[in-house]
Structure 1
Amino acid sequence: MKKRIFGEIKGIFEGDSFDNRIDLSISKVHRPTQAGISGSENEGSDSIVISGGYEDDEDLGNIIIYTGHGGRSNNSKVQVADQTLTRGNKALAISCEKGLPVRVIRGYNKQSKFSPEEGYRYDGLFLVKDYWRDKGKSGYVIWRFRLEKISNKINLLDEVKRNTVSEPVSNYGSTVRQKYFVSRVIRETRIAQYIKELYNDACQVCGIQIKSQVTSYSEAAHIKALGKPHNGPDTKENILCLCPNHHTMFDLGIISIDDNFNILGIDGVILKVHPKHIIDKEFVKYHREHHYKKLS
């Protein structure tokens, strides 16, 4: 079996064009000649093709809301059955949780201004930042994946070099390394600070307060995620104070919250709620229905 390649393909550059899926496969940019997702349930996904094949896809340029595979009629783009978190969908979920880069190829699609005029175009590396259940336009369950483009702008390299400590030469050979830069908005608003101060940086799930020599640390977790397509608000009612471990578990849907504030995924634990902190149960319901992935 051919070894799966995560990241760039030697000799292939962003913007390179391909006439058809056979050319994509031969070049190793995207091996499957039909499937939109290249990957396995054990390793993760190394590439995807977006070409308007699913009615729920949203191409926003540097951000793509990608619909998983399955449940579609053979003769149209319409969903006729629920999708499951298996095969390529599970591969993309693994890439999300492991932080693996995914090559994105855009195919001709008259509905998207970001698609090529013909054929296929390699548009660089993206990271799968989130995945969740949703109800698609046709009324069936779909799995959606938010991909954000990795930036490797040259003007950032000088800053990195100024702040990088040189490593000693190893006697055991060298590892090929690539620098990737992800553009992201760091949100640490007054509202988030207020919630963290309200709990004195103690996690609402486990109660642990991480202390250093001079301060304490916690993270503000939005129950209904900010930004498209969730569009959750940056309000007190939509923020939890969590430790890094439980923040990660919450974002990945390993844990969630029921309407009585019991922690789903951890038996016998109830969310600690300060009397001044009113949590909107509609946001809790949204997280439970879209993100919670109950382990069997």
Structure 2
Amino acid sequence: MAKVRFFGEIPHNPPGTVYQNRIQMNAAGVHMPTQAGISGTPREGADSVVISGGYKDDIDQGDVIIYTGHGGRDDRWRHIADQELTKGNLALVRSQLEGLPVRVIRGADRRNPYAPASGYRYDGLFRVESHWREVEEGGFQIWRFRLVRETASSISVPSVPETTGIERGNRIPSRTTVTTQRVIRDTALARELKQRYDHSCQICGLRISTPSGSYAEAAHIRPLGSPHNGPDTASNILCLCPNHHTMFDLGVFSINDDLSLVGLHGTLSILPGHAIDTAHLAYHRQHFYEELDRIVDQTIGLPVSDDRSR
């Protein structure tokens, strides 16, 4: 009988628990695959990942991990093809979209100061903050995921059968304190830019009025956090409605240098004096925009069997 996928901490397996091998992790329910580095399906999301030095593109900063997706490698760990946004990679995107916690397990790696000396260690819950694509040194496309530590306390989202009727859901939702590291943004600059556009979206023109005043969001074209390290300047900020902000961050559309939209019809509205740096637009197109018809539909929920070392 297949194990039920569980999102969150596994009882009796607190952060810091060490396992000799993947078989022990499987038995504990901490990481179910005995080979794959990503546990999950595109339909359900990813419940756990293993980082163990197999990918030189991984960056481990302790509370922030830049995690490389799976695929595109041969038996000798050489890149021979582009990675695709399918299977385990798409499972991590689903966790980002649904806000699901991901268990991070570190394997022994003498090059990583955060890794255990031997075996595998469960190091707590992380969230998938963002994903994008890059071209690695050999010229092949890879997918990257920014994982940010959530909290050392238990956050669990159990997988339960679907029910019908109005009683579905939690009568008393659980609460937890979450501590995360975030880049400090220049809120005064963002506020000034939104006021300049009268809180109207530069894509659709929508202006959201509330009893407390108008609402819009400041969207950074090139993200501020590592490894993107975009600047917090007006040339890197757009005034968007919540819908187009989310769509922009998730790569549903992007913007050409002439301010025409790619992925959507239309042109970015721009006021005199608000100069957008085209280098930031090019960065977004290269790293975040993905034509939807290039993404294979992986919603049937097939299990991940790929070893992330390939």
> TM-score of the superposition, structure 2-length normalised?
0.85
* Distance across 1 between alignment mates of 2:177 and 2:291: 33
**1:270 alignment partner in structure 2:** 267
**1:130 alignment partner in structure 2:** 130
* Distance across 2 between alignment mates of 1:83 and 1:198: 41
Contact 1:106–1:115 at 8 Å: present in 2 too? yes
**2:85 alignment partner in structure 1:** 85
Contact 2:15–2:152 at 8 Å: present in 1 too? no
- CA RMSD of superposed structures (Å): 1.9
* Distance across 1 between alignment mates of 2:137 and 2:147: 20
**2:249 alignment partner in structure 1:** 251
Task: For residue 54 of structure 1, give the secondary structure of its aligned residue in structure 2.
Answer: coil
**2:164 alignment partner in structure 1:** none
Contact 1:150–1:180 at 8 Å: present in 2 too? no
Q: Does 1:210 align with 2:194?
A: no
* Distance across 2 between alignment mates of 1:212 and 1:96: 28
1:92-114: CA deviations, max 9, x gaps?
11111111110000000011100
Aligned AA for 1:121? R
Relative to structure 1, the CA distance from residue 223 to residue 119 in structure 2 (aligned partners, 3 Å threshold; closer, same or farther) is same
Pick one of 213, 219, 242 that aligns with 2:240. Answer: 242
Contact 1:223–1:239 at 8 Å: present in 2 too? yes
1:162-188: CA deviations, max 9, x gaps?
xxxxxxxx9x98667352514243524
* Distance across 1 between alignment mates of 2:189 and 2:79: 40
Task: For residue 151 of structure 1, give the secondary structure of its aligned residue in structure 2.
Answer: coil
Task: For residue 142 of structure 2, give the secondary structure of its aligned residue in structure 1.
Answer: strand
Relative to structure 1, the CA distance from residue 201 to residue 258 in structure 2 (aligned partners, 3 Å threshold; closer, same or farther) is same
Which consecutive segments of 4 or more residues in structure 1 shift more than 3 A?
172-178
Shift of 1:72: 1.5
1:272-296: CA deviations, max 9, x gaps?
0011100011111110111012211
Q: Which moved more, 1:245-254 or 1:188-197?
A: 188-197
* Distance across 2 between alignment mates of 1:213 and 1:26: 53
**1:28 alignment partner in structure 2:** 29
1:10-51: CA deviations, max 9, x gaps?
111010000011101111100101110001121110000000
Contact 2:130–2:146 at 8 Å: present in 1 too? yes
Shift of 1:138: 2.6
**1:220 alignment partner in structure 2:** 218
**2:13 alignment partner in structure 1:** 12
Task: For residue 89 of structure 1, give the secondary structure of its aligned residue in structure 2.
Answer: helix
* Distance across 1 between alignment mates of 2:247 and 2:202: 13
Pick one of 176, 184, 190 that aligns with 1:179. Answer: 176
* Distance across 2 between alignment mates of 1:229 and 1:100: 22
Aligned AA for 1:26? A
Unaligned runs of 5+ in 2: 155-166, 294-310
Unaligned runs of 5+ in 1: 155-169
**1:280 alignment partner in structure 2:** 277
**1:72 alignment partner in structure 2:** 73
Structure of greater relative contact order (alpha carbons < 8 Å, 6+ residues apart): 2
**2:258 alignment partner in structure 1:** 260
Relative to structure 1, the CA distance from residue 201 to residue 176 in structure 2 (aligned partners, 3 Å threshold; closer, same or farther) is closer
Relative to structure 1, the CA distance from residue 192 to residue 17 in structure 2 (aligned partners, 3 Å threshold; closer, same or farther) is same
* Distance across 2 between alignment mates of 1:178 and 1:137: 44
Task: For residue 88 of structure 2, give the secondary structure of its aligned residue in structure 1.
Answer: helix
Task: For residue 128 of structure 1, give the secondary structure of its aligned residue in structure 2.
Answer: strand
Relative to structure 1, the CA distance from residue 107 to residue 3 in structure 2 (aligned partners, 3 Å threshold; closer, same or farther) is same
Contact 1:152–1:179 at 8 Å: present in 2 too? no
**2:292 alignment partner in structure 1:** 295
Task: For residue 279 of structure 1, give the secondary structure of its aligned residue in structure 2.
Answer: coil
Shift of 1:212: 2.1
Q: Does 1:46 align with 2:43?
A: no
* Distance across 2 between alignment mates of 1:34 and 1:144: 20
* Distance across 1 between alignment mates of 2:196 and 2:86: 41
- Matched residues, percent identical? 50
**2:60 alignment partner in structure 1:** 59
Task: For residue 189 of structure 2, give the secondary structure of its aligned residue in structure 1.
Answer: helix
Task: For residue 259 of structure 2, give the secondary structure of its aligned residue in structure 1.
Answer: coil
* Distance across 2 between alignment mates of 1:94 and 1:88: 10
* Distance across 1 between alignment mates of 2:173 and 2:123: 22
Shift of 1:148: 0.2
Task: For residue 145 of structure 1, give the secondary structure of its aligned residue in structure 2.
Answer: strand
